[in-house]
Structure formats: C-alpha cells, structure tokens
C-alpha cells in the first residue's frame, strides 16, 4: 500500500485528488482544502461511480484507520490509491483545515 505523510500531501494539494472518507458531519467540522467527501461505505460499495482507473487518489480519514481499511478492500480493483498517514487529525495540527 502506498502512503504519504501530511507534509507530502500538502506539497501536492494543487494537483491532488483528495477523497475524505469520513462521515459528512466529520467532514463539515474541518477538512483538507480541496478535498471531496465520499463516506467510506459509499466509496467501498459504489467505487465505479467515483473512481477512474489510471488516476491517482489520496485517501484520508480522521487518523488513517478507515483509509487503510478502504485501500486494502479496493486493492484488487486496480485503482491507484494512496493512504494519507495521520489523517485530518494530524493535518489539522500542522496546516489549516477548511470549514
């Protein structure tokens, strides 16, 4: 599983496709700038509606647990998914979150 640190993600934000897999109420409380919210359950069971093969996606949650689970679950589907270590909890300690 590919993964990046918070600082690596922040350097790539302008061109990165970031998907936040937390629930909507969590996302509304603070998110990585430019990220898109698709709750884990929706993305896991409807991934063909949201993801394109050949495109790179950074997957983030609160701490890294849900994003790791999702990437492991979708690994066999052939998507280019990158786990963001530390999640939005760590991101918010180093950089401003959007609200």
19 within some domain: yes
99 within some domain: no
Catalytic residue list contains 10: no
38 within some domain: yes
Residue 81 pairs in a beta bridge with: 57
Where residue 6 sits, what CATH number does that domain have? 3.40.250.10
74 within some domain: yes
33 within some domain: yes
Predicted TM-score of the model (pTM): 0.96
- Displacement of CA 2 from its chain's centroid (Å): 12
Q: Measure the CA–CA gap between 50 and 35, rounded to whole angstroms.
A: 14
Looking at 18, 59, 61, 81, which residue is catalytic? 61
Each residue's pLDDT expressed in tens, for the chain with a length of 99 residues: 999 999 999 999 999 999 999 999 999 999 999 999 999 999 999 999 999 999 999 999 999 999 999 999 999 999 999 999 999 999 999 999 999
8 within some domain: yes
């Amino acid at each position: 599983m590919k993964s990046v640190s918070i600082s690596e993600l922040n350097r790539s934000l302008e061109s990165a496709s970031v998907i936040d897999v937390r629930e909507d109420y969590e996302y509304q409380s603070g998110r990585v700038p430019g990220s898109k919210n698709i709750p884990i359950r929706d993305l896991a069971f409807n991934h063909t509606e949201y993801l394109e093969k050949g495109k790179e996606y950074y997957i983030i949650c609160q701490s890294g647990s849900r994003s790791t689970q999702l990437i492991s679950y979708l690994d066999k589907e052939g998507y280019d998914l990158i786990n963001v270590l530390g999640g939005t909890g760590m991101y918010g300690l180093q950089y401003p979150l959007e609200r």
